[in-house]
Every structure is written in structure tokens, then in C-alpha cells.
Amino acid sequence: MVRINSTSGHEAAIRQHLLGELRRLGCRPSVDKKGNIHAVLTGALAHGPTILFNAHMDTVVPGENVRPKVLSDRIVSDGTTILGADDKAGLAGILEMLALLQEKNVLFHKIKIILTVEEEIGLRGAKALLFPAVRADYCFVLDSDGAVGSIVNQSPAQEVLTFKVRGKSAHAGLNPEDGVNAIKIAGLAISQIPSGRLDGETTANVGSVRGGTASNIVPDETIVVTEARSRSEKKLQKQVRGMLHAFRSAAKKLGGSVEIERRREYEAIKQPKNSAIVRVTKIAARRLGLPHTVASSGGGSDASIIFGYGVPTVGLGIGMENVHSKQEYITLRNLTVLPQYLLALLEAAHDYERRRRSK
């Protein structure tokens, strides 16, 4: 699959491939208006949990014309592109799990599969999902680094703030005193904003500054795009308030104005270690003799959107390493054991729910 070009916004070829594979494996997949693939499998059990497996179809750039190389213990690219294990290892794991379901004749109640588009450019596919599609008792998102058996149970909420700073243009040599420099306003505001890693839960960044047209014109507009993330809502809002105050104060001090666009990108994930879904991942890992680790992440994924609907969700380590780089790789061991782990999760979830109902 890594040979199939599928950079964000160009998933048509990989989508057609996956639709064919899903049909071959007994599914009746559908495609929503955004281009996401949906499939539902109803098993032989009348009762039991609904399990949702999610991965995304797109890759980052440079992700075209990937030429994978199989080494003794891992798969890499030829060094001119990414490999695309993010997230085609997740896609492959789901497909192989479905094959194992048929081969082993595993009993289950209901499985949902959602494969999204444009995850890498803002979770756009996941944001187009509606609650009925994601409704499930457990959701496993195959999109985290780390060995198979590791999980991500916490990740931050994110807010993006775009500041359109307005000043007043003037000739920089003839009458600069008549101008109000929008870049200076932005610079003053940025200098007042803490950024980088603020603490163990919180980060902030000034990601883009655009303004000015020529050296002889006092710039009358500058656009600054910033973000803040935190696993603590209190800390996130404190950082956002500080950013808002910095720009408003700078504009007032230097005689300009500022328009602000504030956008909530996704919610924080906080899945307690004693929750049913975390326990199920631990049971499944033990059955296969895999180390089970629980970690937090500083990034967002489709898991952030699905968890925001109230669905118990964790991210699964799928063995991909050095993602978003030409040094990306995945070990053969992780690639092989991943579908077995997904099957173990399915069985562990049914066993856990059966025991819980019998109490």
C-alpha cells in the first residue's frame, strides 16, 4: 500500500484499493460525502460490545512514488520520501485482522471500521463524522508511534488563534510618522507571549507571521497564526487569555487595532488508567506477551474527535517510528503482531463485558 500515492487531499487511489480489499474480506463498505470509508460487520453474537477501529488514509509529503525496502528486521523507504507507515501500517493491520477473523472464525457482536481522509492537515475527515457513525463501546485508533502493546490515553485540547493586526500605511521615507506599523504591533505582542513547552501539559507556538509589501511602505496589516495546547483546560484557557491580552494591549499601545479569529480544533483526551478500555488493552497485551505501556501525547489525532463525542477511545502504538521524516520505518515484528493484537483486543473486550454483565 505504501506504493500507492495518497498525500492529504489525494486519497482517491488508496480509497479504491481499500474498498476492494474490504469487499474481498466480506464487508460492504460505503463512502461518505467527505470521502471517508465506513464499514460495519455484524457477528454471530447477539450481545456484546461494539468495537470501532479507525485509521487514516492520507500521508504527509514527500509521500509520492514511495519505494519501500525490506531489510532484515524493518521496512524503510529509499531515503527520498517518507515510508508512509503513518498510517498505512494501521490500514494494513485492520485488513489483516479481518482476514484473521475469517480464518479463525472468531465470534463477535459488532465491528465498525472508519478510515478517514485528510487527517494530516487538520483532522478534516474525522471532523466530518457524525455521532451515529462513531457510536461504539470501545474505539481503537491505530495512529500512534511506539511498539504494539503501547497505548496513548491522554492528549491535549488545541485552540488556534489568528490575529489580523491593522495599522496605517504611509511612505517610510517621506512621512513615516503618519503610519502605524502593523508588524511592530505584532512583534510587541509576540514578545509578550510565552511559547514552547510551558509545562508538562501545555505548549504554545507562534506558527506564522505574514505582513508588509515593500521596504518603503509602513505596513498596515499583519496576520499572525498561533496555537495553544494543554491536557488541562484551566491551563489552556490561561494561555489563550494571555495571548488575547498581548495582542489587544500591543494594538492599543501603538495606535492600531486587531481582529481575532479563535477556533477550537479538538478536545483533550483523558482516559483513566482504571477505565474499561485501558484494562482491555492491558489484557490483550498480556495474552500475547507484549509489554503494555500507557503514555500521553502532545498531538491530536482522529482519536481527539471521536473521544469528543463521548466514545471511550485510546490511541494504539502500531510500531511506526521517525514518522513524518525520510527516516521513517516500521519493524517486521510490529507489523506482524499488530493484527494479532487487534484480534486480541476484540476478544478481550467481549470477555471483559461478559464478566461485567455477570456480576
Enumerate the β-bridge partners of residue 315: 141, 152
Give the separation between CA 86 and CA 337, rounded to whole angstroms. Answer: 17
Q: How many residues does the chain have?
A: 359
- Known binding-site residues equal 86, 120, 143
Give the separation between CA 355 and CA 359, rounded to whole angstroms. Answer: 7
Q: How far is CA 56 from the centre of its chain?
A: 9
Q: Interhelix angle for 332-358 vs 85-104, to 10°? A: 60
Alpha helices in the chain (DSSP H): 12-24, 85-104, 124-127, 131-134, 182-191, 233-254, 276-287, 302-308, 332-358
Give the separation between CA 277 and CA 345, rounded to whole angstroms. Answer: 9
Give catalytic status of residue 119 as yes or no. yes
176's grid cell: 513615516
- Beta-strand ranges (E) seen in 106-200 are 110-116, 138-144, 151-155, 157-166, 196-197
| Biggest distance spanned by C-alpha atoms of the chain | 85
232's grid cell: 488541562
Give the active site residue among 11, 21, 96, 119: 119
251's grid cell: 494594538
Q: What are the respective helix, strand and coil percentages of the chain, to the nearest 5?
A: 35, 30, 35
- Known binding-site residues for Zn(2+) equal 86, 120, 143
103's grid cell: 480464518
Give the separation between CA 181 and CA 178, rounded to whole angstroms. Answer: 10
Give the separation between CA 64 and CA 61, rounded to whole angstroms. Answer: 7
- The catalytic site residues sit at 119
